[in-house]
Amino acid sequence: MKAAILKGPNRIDVEDYPKPEPGQGEVLLKVDMAALCGTDQRVLRGEKNVSVPIIGHEISGTAEAVGSGVAEDILGKRFAVQTVVGCGECPACQRHHQIFCEQGFKAIGYAWNGGFAEYMIMPKPAVDQGCLIPLPDTMSDAEGTLLEPLSCCINGLRYLPLEEMKRVVVMGAGIIGVLNALVAKARGVEEVIVVNRSQPKLDMIREQNLPIDYLMNSRDTDPVAWVNEHTGGAGVDGVVVSASAKSLVNPGIQMLALGGHLSIFAGFNKADPLEPIDLNLIHYRELHVHGANSSVRRDYIEAIELLQAGKVDSAKLITHTYSLDDFLDAMKAQSDPDVHSLKILIKP
């Protein structure tokens, strides 16, 4: 089979790779679609370590073969892949919240080979956990790849009382920023403001006519000053940091109203993750600071519901599709602001 093989920092080659066979308790998926994630760029740059040669964790595929112990009635059925796999035994895993696995969760595309290949194995722990999420007949393979990033946004925003919020600022206009904005809007936030330092991304959102109320270029406009003026000094109810730039955290805190919520959705370079913060702002303004890390099955189910209800329009989010042979071109396009991409898919 063909696969995009990670050879080291800044090197991925598309080449032949042995087609896997499912062992006991495993499922062989024919990868129908796999989407690029911003984390894939961090892996490629060497900022995030993986232990496998094939990455890719936003996946939809068809069950083609099963190992012993797996019911054959799943053959030919389509699934999205839940990325996070817990130990299955600790209290967090027992309550189906594998993100908090006491043994430390593992992930498809990080601990096991992922979806940038023609075929992949769903390992036994993932099959046992229920990480194969059935796709509705009305949902396309392309839409299926959106379930992972959308589920992560649903999980991260659980900590924010969105139904009670009037204004939310999302820092970052990549696909994760857009998805956070759309989830916030779908859950009742009156005004959603997306802030980005690259104008082409903002132009892309405007061209797609997404339901976002304000688009702000932070190179031209100070977002803290804008929020202060726009709200009469009151601030916004929530801020989501969805770009991997730690310098966004302090402005995010400064934009918050009394009792406001800051969600740190993005991960930062592990070699340089520290940023000074005025803790008195959190203390005296009674602010809430939340982390957001991946998702679990319930979040995928809610993501399906949002997509099927039309509250998130996948057609406006999926902007480019490349073949596996053109994988390197896809990676370049994802990191090039002039390409005007949101979600880029790989079709093996």
Please spell the DSSP secondary structure of 150-197, one letter per residue.
HHHHHHHGGGS-GGG-SEEEEE--SHHHHHHHHHHHHTT-SEEEEEES
Based on the domain organization, do 18 and 119 belong to the same domain?
Answer: yes
Buried b (16+ CB within 10 A) or exposed e, 151-165: bbbbbbbbbbebeeb
- Number of residues that this document lists for the chain: 348
Based on the domain organization, do 324 and 283 belong to the same domain?
Answer: no
Based on the domain organization, do 125 and 196 belong to the same domain?
Answer: no
Q: Are 121 and 28 in contact (CB under 8 A)?
A: yes
- Rounded to whole angstroms, the Cα distance separating 267 from 149 reads 14
Question: How many domains, the chain?
Answer: 2
CB-side neighbour CA atoms (13 Å) of 197: 8
Q: Tell me the torsion sign for CA atoms 318, 323, 327, 332.
A: negative
Write the DSSP symbol of residue 52: S
Evaluate whether residue 79 is within a structural domain. yes
Angle ∠(50,154,139) on CA atoms, nearest 5: 85
- Rounded to whole angstroms, the Cα distance separating 147 from 131 reads 12
Based on the domain organization, do 220 and 257 belong to the same domain?
Answer: yes
What CATH number has the domain bearing residue 247? 3.40.50.720
- Rounded to whole angstroms, the Cα distance separating 71 from 90 reads 26
CA dihedral 108→134→41→313, nearest 10 degrees, is -160
Evaluate whether residue 304 is within a structural domain. no
What CATH number has the domain bearing residue 128? 3.90.180.10
- Rounded to whole angstroms, the Cα distance separating 160 from 20 reads 42
| Domain housing 60 | 2-135+317-347
347, with CB counted inside 10 A (0-12, 13-18, 19+), is middle
Q: Identify the helix (H) or strand (E) that includes residue 280.
A: helix 279-284
- Rounded to whole angstroms, the Cα distance separating 104 from 256 reads 32
Based on the domain organization, do 48 and 127 belong to the same domain?
Answer: yes
- Residue 299, SS3? helix
Based on the domain organization, do 324 and 272 belong to the same domain?
Answer: no
Residue-by-residue pLDDT tens, the chain, 348 positions: 999 999 988 889 999 999 999 999 999 999 999 999 988 988 888 888 899 999 999 999 999 999 999 999 999 999 999 999 999 999 999 999 999 999 999 999 999 999 999 999 999 999 999 999 999 999 999 999 999 999 999 999 999 999 999 999 999 999 999 999 999 999 999 999 999 998 988 998 999 999 999 999 999 999 999 999 999 999 999 999 999 899 999 999 999 999 999 999 998 888 889 999 999 999 999 999 999 999 999 999 999 999 999 999 999 999 999 999 999 999 999 988 888 899 999 999
Q: Are 320 and 341 in contact (CB under 8 A)?
A: yes
- Give the predicted TM-score (pTM) of the model: 0.95
Evaluate whether residue 142 is within a structural domain. no
